[in-house]
Structure 1
Amino acid sequence: MQNWALTNGNVTIGNDVWLCANCVILSGVSIGDGAVIANGAIVTKDVPPYAIVGGNPAKLIRWRFDEATRNALHASAWWNWPEQEILSVVDKLCSENIQDFIEYAKNRK
């Protein structure tokens, strides 16, 4: 059997993505920034930023944040900041109150 392997293209995984154990991502799929892929999920379609997906096939379980927060986090592109700056605000980034981090990101120079 020749040329039986097929692909739909590369898999693209964004920044700040959490891939849980035993998940499978099929070819050609893009995982958006900040997404969470649940344990054992079979991802057959693109996953939007900050979505939590799971199941077989993977479906949206819920959003990590409300739309305004998702947009603000995505616009901040904090993963491109210098490492020292990220380390200096990691307490805000990992806090229950993400709005403090968003305010910092909006006001940074």
Structure 2
Amino acid sequence: MRGTNNHGFSDAGLRRLRDVLAQHIEAKKIPGLVFLVSRGGQTHVEAFGTMRHDGGAPMRGDTIFRMASTSKPVTMAAAMVLLDEASLRRSRAPAVAWSPLSTTTTPTSRCC
């Protein structure tokens, strides 16, 4: 999205994005959404619709979503890119070695 009128994004590009996302809400495919676009150090966030199909509170820019297992494919794709770039190396080290909690807790099968 070229231009500098709206936080480094073109007004036309943001309008197109808003229109497409609004169509999904109007078609009742989703009750609401929050989108974030970041480019060149500039970030644009907007919220549309409500939190439930039957209404409820409006979406906000800081709405927290339950992602559940949807983040696993994204994490795996990111790991594969890092492996490809040699920024991440395969090792046999236990995952706990990478955890910020590794000095205070030891994960077991009971807690995971």
Task: Identify the TM-score tier after normalising by the shorter chain.
Answer: under 0.3
TM-score normalised to structure 2 length? 0.22
Whose Rg is larger? 2
TM-score normalised to structure 1 length? 0.23
The one of the two structures with greater contact order (alpha-carbon pairs below 8 A, sep at least 6) is 1
